Amino acid sequence: MKKKMLLLLVLGALNAQAGFSKLEAISMIESGGNDWAVGKAGEVSRYQLLPKTWRHYTTFQAYSNPLLARQIARQHLAALEANFRARAGREATDFDCYVLWNAGLHYYARIGFQPARVHPVIRERAERFVNLRQIDAPVLAANTLR
């Protein structure tokens, strides 16, 4: 099942001729693409959204529904990026996007939106996110299908 999910993500990346989309990369880092994942703090779906965040966008509790989860994740990421743009006065880089996703706007604002001040664990995940976004899709496909 995991290989099938990874292959689907790889094929999606191939179509884009770049790395993974933001949501695909978030999904891979947060849950390995597992629609049934539940985190230690109760985070749900492949995107590991807190239930209160999920409820902000819908009353449906179909956490394992990949289409609904993607719609909610897309809306949430767009809101995070818009708030970042308004507060930081610049567009969010891929690194910024992951920090916003993982730690939140308030955390990032508190450290002055400075990547160098991000906690090492979050920084390492943000760097993996950046790598997934920039990975060469044909190389990814060749390594995955071996």
Q: How does pLDDT run across 40-91, given as a tens digit for each residue?
A: 999 999 999 999 999 999 999 999 999 999 999 999 999 999 999 999 999 9
132 burial (CB, 10 Å; 0-12 / 13-18 / 19+) is buried
- Asked if 50 contacts 38 with a C-beta cutoff of 8 angstroms, the reply is no
Mean predicted lDDT score pLDDT of the chain: 88
The dihedral built from the CA positions of residue 27, 11, 131 and 114, taken in this order, carries a sign that is negative
Enter the tokens of residue 131.
């790598």
Q: Distance between CA 146 and CA 94 in Å, rounded?
A: 29
Please give the pLDDT value at position 144.
55
Per-residue confidence at 113, pLDDT binned at 50, 70, 90?
Answer: very high
Taken as a whole, the chain contains a residue count of 146
Q: What is the pTM of this model?
A: 0.81
Please give the pLDDT value at position 16.
46
According to CATH, what is the number of the domain 21-134? Answer: 1.10.530.10
